[in-house]
Amino acid sequence: MIINHETALKTLRRMTHEILEKNDDVANIVLVGILKKGLPIALLIRDNIKQYAGIEVPVVELDISMHRDDEKRRPATQPDFAVGNKVCILVDDVLFTGRTARAAMDAIVDLGRPKRIEFAVLIDRGHRELPIRADYVGKNAPTALDETVIVNLSGINAGVYIERIR
């Protein structure tokens, strides 16, 4: 186990404080949870922002399947939100090669021109293939290429784990 459930929630609270420190105009933030694993983390960050700043920022689920260059393309559902002049904070569970983040940025730019795009991840495991970095990182957890990181924030076995790929 990399981090247990309690530590993961504590880490997300710290990341929320970092987001609030960097963004004076909280009402201008849109949290963009990358389908599927980024959405639960985005919702937790939204709840933390509401608790600390008293503002409920919108959360949007982003399907990036149409923008992937390393997987078979399939039609994506477009979210219905305006990105113009908004601070879009992409949220995902794990940053690995950077390809998911690149596809997510492409999907956002297809919707309009945001004021800024930031990136928040719970775990950064290294091994970039693209020059991508996260603005907000919960934990750096270097892994071997034959390992994967599993993030599970609900249920009996909640926590973040490393598993060897067979």
Over residues 143-164, the pLDDT tens digits come to: 999 999 999 998 888 999 999 9
pLDDT at site 69: 61
pLDDT at site 79: 57
Distance CA(161)–CA(159), nearest Å, equals 7
Distance CA(149)–CA(93), nearest Å, equals 9
Domains (ranges, CATH) in the chain? Answer: 3-164 (3.40.50.2020)
- pLDDT, tens digit (0-9, with 9 covering 90-100), for 29-84: 999 999 889 999 999 999 999 999 999 999 999 988 877 565 555 555 555 678 88
CB-neighbour burial class of residue 53 (10 A; exposed 0-12, middle 13-18, buried 19+): middle
Residue where the block lists tokens 């939204």: 46
- pLDDT, tens digit (0-9, with 9 covering 90-100), for 77-135: 555 678 889 999 999 999 999 999 999 999 999 888 999 999 999 999 999 999 999 99
pLDDT at site 156: 84
